Amino acid sequence: MLVNRENGVILDIRDNKAFEGGHIVDAINIPLAKLSERIKELDKYQEKPLIVVCQMGTQSGDAVKVLEEKGFTSVTRMSGGMTEWQTQSLPTVK
**pTM over the 0.95 mark:** no
User: Residue 2 — pLDDT band, cuts 50, 70, 90?
Assistant: low
| pLDDT tens-digit series, residues 32-78 | 999 999 999 999 998 889 999 999 989 999 999 999 999 998 999 99
pLDDT the model gives residue 25: 93
Active site positions, annotated: 54
Contact between residue 77 and residue 58 where contact means Cβ atoms under 8 Å apart: no
11 inside domain: yes
Residue 38 and residue 78 in contact, taking contact as beta carbons nearer than 8 Å: no
Candidates 56, 48, 13, 55; CA nearest to 31 is: 13
15 in a structural domain: yes
Region of poorest pLDDT, from 1-10, 12-21, 49-58, 66-75: 1-10
Domain count along the chain: 1
Q: What is the pLDDT of residues 32-43, one digit of tens each?
A: 999 999 999 999
- CATH at residue 9: 3.40.250.10
Q: Is residue 13 part of a domain?
A: yes
Would residue 92 count as lying in a domain?
Answer: no
The percent helix, strand, coil of the chain (3-state, each to 5) is 45, 15, 40
Range of the domain at 76: 2-87
